[in-house]
Structure 1
């Protein structure tokens, strides 16, 4: 079991409420900052998710922890006729809605305020579900994954896009140096919330990945 990392160490709020507060605060700067701290690689990663989902020719797609809608917008390149972007942060959703309106995609994408651990849709509803850089923010990972399995159609596709710590030298050492020393400085320049990007790097470093995540997916029922 990984540590339950929260954005604000001294806050009495639960993780879910803290994450909502954090993303509401940084929503206006989030897109530009992400491009900088990932050196634009996040765009390449999202395109890989697009390829996986496109190959399944879905009609309905749910993008969980959609944030400002980058991945939901990409999903318009699939065969999907209904795309839902779900997030608990109204601030992030508002930025996403503005982007979607600017791209004239409001008729294809619906941005919904909602909780990934209590998804407001019926069983077996979606052909494809994606989560980009979001599962590590779930308050209860197993509950969130169980909800995703519930609303995913049998035979549907579920894609998690997430960062993890490199295991090989010198990439591992470089990663820790960058996330501990450089990333928080960049975050302070872009965001008025000084702890936000420290949390994002810390939560990524302790999040379970590889076989550890597979074991959780197996327990929930995604993997037999």
Structure 2
């Protein structure tokens, strides 16, 4: 299934969305964590904890973190859920290099490993993981349904995928404030701090085109999930999706 978000690319030049997303994250990897905290006013930390706690009843032992980036979501999952192991996969080597520094610093080599890989063509066998997590990554997929189908494939029966993603508030005046913040302020700060202004113009564009809320839940069902809980956070700025595999 194609959707509007698959047509939004970080840069205007030739190349697939996947290639451009990898280039973009390689470009901003050194300042990504700083900008993430700044742009969300630190609220993303609360969102991450809430999303991970939704897996507590499952007590997953082997987890996959898709689009792991600099590893923050996986590190939080290790602290809260204490699984035996988490594997993180990402298409950006620059982001993974930052994650590797955190793994080494925290002496987590035995419980958290990262590898370069395509989120829509995961390099793992069927039904391998108890749980899969994705934080702020699915809107960067080139083919959303294909990526979700592959997450479904590597999940064990009875497993769960938890997706955390930015969404579009609809209530006045939150909608208008959100638009001003993400379409004007965020690109300006991104340009100042990361020197890649286009990366932070892509952010609001990709959020605006992303099929959030119940539309996303419908796509998860087409990908094979039995059902999906939709949990909006902070006036609809962000949404936690709990996707269940029968």
Match of 1:51? Answer: 53
- Secondary structure in 1 matching 2:127: coil
* TM superposition score normalised by structure 1: 0.97
Unpaired runs of at least 5, structure 2 = 228-246
Deviation string 1:112-140 (CA, Å, 9 cap, x unpaired) is 11001110110000000000000000001
Residue pair 2:168, 2:212 contacting (<8 A) in 1 also: no
Q: What is the alpha-carbon distance in structure 2 between the residues aligned to residue 115 and residue 87 of structure 1?
A: 7
The reply to whether residue 138 of structure 1 matches residue 141 of structure 2 is: yes
Q: What is the alpha-carbon distance in structure 2 between the residues aligned to residue 6 and residue 36 of structure 1?
A: 23
Matches within 5 A, 1:36-185: 36-77=38-79, 78-185=81-188
Unpaired runs of at least 5, structure 1 = none
Shift of 1:54: 2.5
Residue pair 2:11, 2:20 contacting (<8 A) in 1 also: yes
Deviation string 1:9-56 (CA, Å, 9 cap, x unpaired) is 2x1110000000000000000000100000001100000122112221
Match of 1:212? Answer: 215
User: Which of 18, 21, 24 in structure 2 is aligned with 1:22?
Assistant: 24
Deviation string 1:175-216 (CA, Å, 9 cap, x unpaired) is 111111100111011112110011012101110011111111
Match of 1:221? Answer: 224
After TM superposition, the structure 1 stretch with the greater mean CA deviation from structure 2, 209-218 or 137-146, is 209-218
* TM superposition score normalised by structure 2: 0.88
Matches within 5 A, 1:183-198: 183-198=186-201
Q: What is the alpha-carbon distance in structure 1 between the residues aligned to residue 103 and residue 52 of structure 2?
A: 17
Of Structure 1 and Structure 2, the greater strand share is in 2
Residue pair 1:214, 1:223 contacting (<8 A) in 2 also: no
Q: What is the alpha-carbon distance in structure 2 between the residues aligned to residue 53 and residue 114 of structure 1?
A: 24
Match of 2:34? Answer: 32
- Secondary structure in 2 matching 1:162: strand
Q: What is the alpha-carbon distance in structure 1 between the residues aligned to residue 48 and residue 174 of structure 2?
A: 22
Match of 2:241? Answer: none
Shift of 1:91: 0.2
The reply to whether residue 12 of structure 1 matches residue 11 of structure 2 is: no
Residue pair 1:54, 1:79 contacting (<8 A) in 2 also: no
Q: What is the alpha-carbon distance in structure 1 between the residues aligned to residue 40 and residue 82 of structure 2?
A: 29
- Give the ranges of 4+ consecutive aligned residues of structure 1 lying more than 2 Å apart after TM superposition: none
Residue pair 1:128, 1:158 contacting (<8 A) in 2 also: yes
Q: What is the alpha-carbon distance in structure 1 between the residues aligned to residue 72 and residue 134 of structure 2?
A: 11
